[in-house]
């Protein structure tokens, strides 16, 4: 099967406008993502999909490939679907434009997941080692069946260990206030996590081309709108997502503070 990496990159990020062009160790952020993606052994090409003239120009100037897309897309999935529709590749890999630490091995892993003909999509998970991540809604958790197919993704801690996560300690104590339920959150360090086996989702996907194009045509589902997780649209509509555990860590850049974290990580690893 043939595969291509498409990197969605928009300029108007709410928390970090112009993020793909932010300098990181002498290069724009998007260049790090592009060059790391080009190291994939299984992807035949890499292209940036953007709605920004400035991003398009930057990618072309450093020798990369880019295409302009509509400014009306609500998500990166919609943006890559527009580009994928004009190509005949069997597999489309979505590498987020704010993942400068993405590794070629991760891209190759999600491509290989689609060797299983039952899978419409592939993605990666990693064992949670930091207790703080368990109750962090920005860290998406995943559960999967014995054959490695995703069962659900959530911003909440799943599975919820009833014995280990005592209700108050776990941060889900419900109080009645003016006849309304309110949730009091507790610090993750208040619980014991030594025996827990939980996984976080890393936001890299492979899609069969037809699956991607069909998903982009579908309306958001209620679970997706509640959790703000696009992959739930796929699960609700019967698309099977195969997952693989990875040992690699990534750091997505959502804010200028995240960019500083990546700079420190790169300096320590160099």
And the tokens for 17? 């406008």
pLDDT of residue 192: 55
The answer to whether residue 173 sits within a structural domain is: no
pLDDT of residue 133: 87
The answer to whether residue 168 sits within a structural domain is: no
Could you tell me which of 110, 114, 99, 120 has the C-alpha nearest to residue 7? Answer: 99
pLDDT of residue 219: 94
The answer to whether residue 29 sits within a structural domain is: yes
The answer to whether residue 186 sits within a structural domain is: no
The answer to whether residue 179 sits within a structural domain is: no
The answer to whether residue 194 sits within a structural domain is: no
pLDDT of residue 174: 44
pLDDT of residue 195: 66
- The domain total for the chain is 1
The answer to whether residue 240 sits within a structural domain is: yes
The answer to whether residue 24 sits within a structural domain is: yes
* Whole-number Å distance between alpha carbons of 79 and 59: 17
**CATH for 233:** 3.90.550.10
The greatest distance separating any two alpha carbons of the chain, rounded to the nearest whole angstrom, comes to 61
* Whole-number Å distance between alpha carbons of 85 and 83: 5
pLDDT, block means (10 residues), the chain with 270 residues: 96 86 94 97 98 96 97 88 96 95 97 98 95 86 98 94 61 47 47 74 96 96 95 97 95 84 77
Q: What is the extent of the structural domain holding 147?
A: 3-127+141-152+200-269
Could you tell me which of 32, 17, 50, 28 has the C-alpha nearest to residue 100? Answer: 32
Task: State the DSSP H helix or E strand holding residue 196, giving kind and residue range, or none if neither.
Answer: none
Three-state SS at 35? helix
């Amino acid at each position: 099967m043939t595969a291509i990496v498409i990197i969605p990159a928009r300029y108007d990020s709410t928390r970090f406008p112009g993020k793909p062009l932010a300098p990181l160790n002498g290069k724009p952020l998007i260049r790090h993502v592009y060059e790391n993606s080009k190291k994939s052994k299984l992807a035949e090409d890499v292209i940036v999909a953007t709605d920004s003239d400035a991003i398009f120009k930057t990618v072309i100037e450093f020798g990369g490939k880019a295409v302009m897309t509509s400014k009306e897309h609500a998500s990166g999935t919609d943006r890559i679907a527009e580009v994928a529709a004009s190509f005949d590749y069997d597999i489309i890999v979505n590498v987020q434009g704010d993942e400068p630490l993405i590794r070629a091995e991760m891209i190759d892993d999600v491509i290989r997941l689609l060797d299983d003909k039952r899978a419409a999509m592939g993605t990666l998970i990693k064992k949670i080692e930091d207790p703080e991540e368990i109750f962090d809604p920005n860290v998406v958790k995943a559960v999967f069946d014995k054959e490695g197919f995703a069962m659900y993704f959530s911003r909440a801690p799943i599975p919820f260990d009833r014995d280990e996560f005592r209700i108050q300690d776990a941060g889900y104590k419900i109080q009645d206030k003016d006849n309304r339920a309110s949730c009091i959150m507790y610090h993750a360090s208040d619980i014991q996590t030594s025996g827990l086996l939980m996984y976080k989702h890393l936001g890299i996907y492979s899609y069969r081309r037809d699956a991607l194009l069909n998903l982009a045509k579908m309306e958001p589902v209620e679970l997706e709108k509640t959790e703000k997780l696009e992959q739930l649209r796929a699960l609700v509509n019967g698309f099977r997502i195969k997952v693989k555990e990875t040992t690699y860590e990534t750091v997505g850049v959502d804010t200028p503070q995240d960019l500083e974290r990546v700079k420190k990580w790169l300096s320590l690893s160099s």
